Amino acid sequence: MKFHGVLFFPVTPFAADGSLDEERLAQHIESGVAAGAGGVFVACGTGEFHALSTEEIERATRVAVQTTAGRVPVLAAAGGPTPVARDQAARVERAGADGILLLPPYLVSAPQQGLVRYVEEVIAATDLPVVFYQRGTARLSAETAAEIAALPGVVGFKDGIGDIERMHRIVRAVRAVPGTEDFQFFNGLPTAEMTAPAYQGIGVELYSSAVFAFAPEIALAFHRALAEDDDALVSRLLDEFYGPLVALRDEVPGYAVSLVKAGVTLRGLDVGGVRAPLIDPTPEHIARLAELLDHGLEVAAA
């Protein structure tokens, strides 16, 4: 399983009664794949993994698999308490996913060997390839990362911490392990475009783009500009769209998801609001998002 291009993390649409809206999820995923997504990561962070039942994760995965119809890889999330993560991994495999994004164990701070044990126990429940997501309670040393990378079935690391030195040490340690030539590293920070140039400098080329969920034109323009060393366009998009978007996002905890859902609705597909404990953006914030979106689209088109 090899990824290229912009990675798409769809939101999870909810109907008026709060239930999972499979039809709109299919529409949302189809739109992203048609726009040029390099892979679909369903029911993950942007998809409100924290607020979905295990059964809903399985249903969302099945919708993604059916909608993509083999055009791009589909990964879905598992994580939290070990028995729950094992159940989620088995369900995601049953739904036809191509892989799993393994989120951290729930709440507890574990020793490094405990994190290895967590990965071992979850991957034992599935034959699918696994990308391990370093964030929250899961902070790996370079040595632990190399040990996890050597486990059968672990094919990648996604970083959600943002410690460049730590990640550089991890990349170097993993690359020193024989047989990891195809191992993949992902920048998984919120609004990853802001840090994509820095991560590229340490050998982390792939990143997840929440912006792609509601403005694929902007996300693809940035990705092309970065790949082609178009520093002028990279700088303009960072200064005039991504930077102001991050400033708005940081005003309210949870807006890394809430603003994305609002953006999808602004672009014409009503995906509903977010589930607790997140809150929906205020009308003022939605208006600011709409202005940013319009300007970002103008910059991308130019």
Q: Which residue has the tokens 């028995």?
A: 83
- Residue of 158, 199, 242, 255 marked active site: 158
Q: Residue 297 half-sphere exposure, CB side, CA atoms within 13 Å?
A: 12
**In degrees to the nearest 10, what's the CA dihedral of 185, 190, 196, 199?**
-50
Ranges of beta strands (E only) in 61-98 are 74-78
Burial category of 242 from C-beta neighbours within 10 Å (exposed 0-12, middle 13-18, buried 19 and up): buried
Alpha-carbon gap, residue 267 to 293, rounded angstroms = 9
SS3 37: coil
Question: Is 158 a residue of the active site?
Answer: yes
Residues 49, 249, 199: CA angle, nearest 5 degrees: 75
DSSP 105: P
Question: Is 242 a residue of the active site?
Answer: no
SS3 135: coil
Q: Distance between terminal CA atoms of the chain?
A: 34
Alpha-carbon gap, residue 88 to 101, rounded angstroms = 11
SS3 21: coil
Per the CB < 8 A criterion, the answer to whether 157 and 186 are in contact is: yes
Alpha-carbon gap, residue 164 to 222, rounded angstroms = 21
- Residue of 133, 199, 242, 255 marked active site: 133
Q: Give me Rg for the CA atoms of the chain.
A: 18
Residue 231: other Cβ atoms inside 10 A = 11
Please list the active-site residues: 133, 158
